[in-house]
Amino acid sequence: MKILFFGPNGSGKGTQGKIVKEKFGIPHIETGVIFRDNISRGTDLGKEAKGYIYRGELVPDSITIPMILNRLKEDDCKNGWLLDGFPRNLTQAQELDKALNQEGINLDIVIEMILDRQIAKNRIMGRRLCVNDNNHPNNIFIDAIKPDGDRCRVCSGELKTRTDDQDEEAIDQRHNIYYDNETGTTAGVNYYKDLSAKNNGVPRIIDLDGTPGVKEVTEELLGKLGK
């Protein structure tokens, strides 16, 4: 199963993505996680990407596109993958489509999480990251996943914030890119919607309302996926 997962920062895409990954037994490839991992390990890629990430800008396509296309060629991707955070603009969407065509790979599903921009912004600012596991959900503004005091609600681990999550300018910049339907992420989503319309519903497009709580969104998603 090959799946693209779109959604603005703060929509809960990472949390839902983890569930999809487990249901299908496929790797969850998150561009942002790959970059942050490289930054913390001090690699050349991390050094190059750092400035763009802190400003909320996209890391240049010349770095990001080959990085992801190479990742998809690794052994664990043979039976499918879930891409989260890529494509993030129209060029990346077109290049991914081209690369998949060249390899004779069909994309099965495109999920789009829909969330109001202001709600997404509040959720980002309330997000806390567990040092033990990035996917332990903690958000000081969401009742269902409020941390336990200043510790992780799942494992009592220490909680941190992402630098780019506390910088309003960087958040606005990330959302400007996401909601841009000319060349940004929304343009990339529309590219795949057009493809689906021309190709008898392949890939299948799944719209997902990200407004309710984590559990409700998961139920809707798994229902639509038939899982």
Helix axis angle for 61-71 and 31-41, nearest 10°, is 100
Least gap, CB of 16 to ligand AMP (angstroms): 14
11 interacts with ligand AMP by CB under 6 A: no
Q: Tell me the CB-side half-sphere exposure of residue 40, using CA atoms within 13 A.
A: 8
Instruction: Report which residue's Cβ sits closest to ligand AMP.
Output: 32
Q: Which run of H or of E encompasses 194?
A: helix 185-198
Least gap, CB of 20 to ligand AMP (angstroms): 16
Which residues are CB-neighbours of 64 under 8 A, at least 6 positions away? 31, 58, 86, 88, 92
127 interacts with ligand AMP by CB under 6 A: no
Which residues are CB-neighbours of 194 under 8 A, at least 6 positions away? none
Closest to 122 in 3D by CA, of 12, 5, 3, 2: 12
59 interacts with ligand AMP by CB under 6 A: yes
Least gap, CB of 220 to ligand AMP (angstroms): 22
One residue of 19, 20, 29, 58 binding ligand AMP per CB under 6 A: 58
Contact assessment for residue 121 and residue 67, using Cβ atoms and an 8 Å cutoff? no
Token pair belonging to 84: 């989260």
29 interacts with ligand AMP by CB under 6 A: no
Least gap, CB of 6 to ligand AMP (angstroms): 11
Which residue has tokens 């392949």?
Answer: 202
Q: Judged by CB under 6 A, which stretch of 27-35, 72-80, 111-119, 194-202 contacts ligand AMP? A: 27-35
111 interacts with ligand AMP by CB under 6 A: no
DSSP reduced 3-state for 218: helix
Least gap, CB of 37 to ligand AMP (angstroms): 11
174 interacts with ligand AMP by CB under 6 A: yes
32 interacts with ligand AMP by CB under 6 A: yes
Q: What one-character-per-residue DSSP string does 70-109 give?
A: HHTTSGGGTT-EEEES---SHHHHHHHHHHHHHHTPPP-E
List the x/- string, 79-98, binding to ligand AMP by CB under 6 A.
Answer: ------xx-x---x------
171 interacts with ligand AMP by CB under 6 A: no
One residue of 5, 6, 24, 35 binding ligand AMP per CB under 6 A: 35
Q: Which residues are near ligand AMP by CB under 6 A? A: 9, 31-32, 35, 52-53, 56-59, 64, 85-86, 88, 92, 174
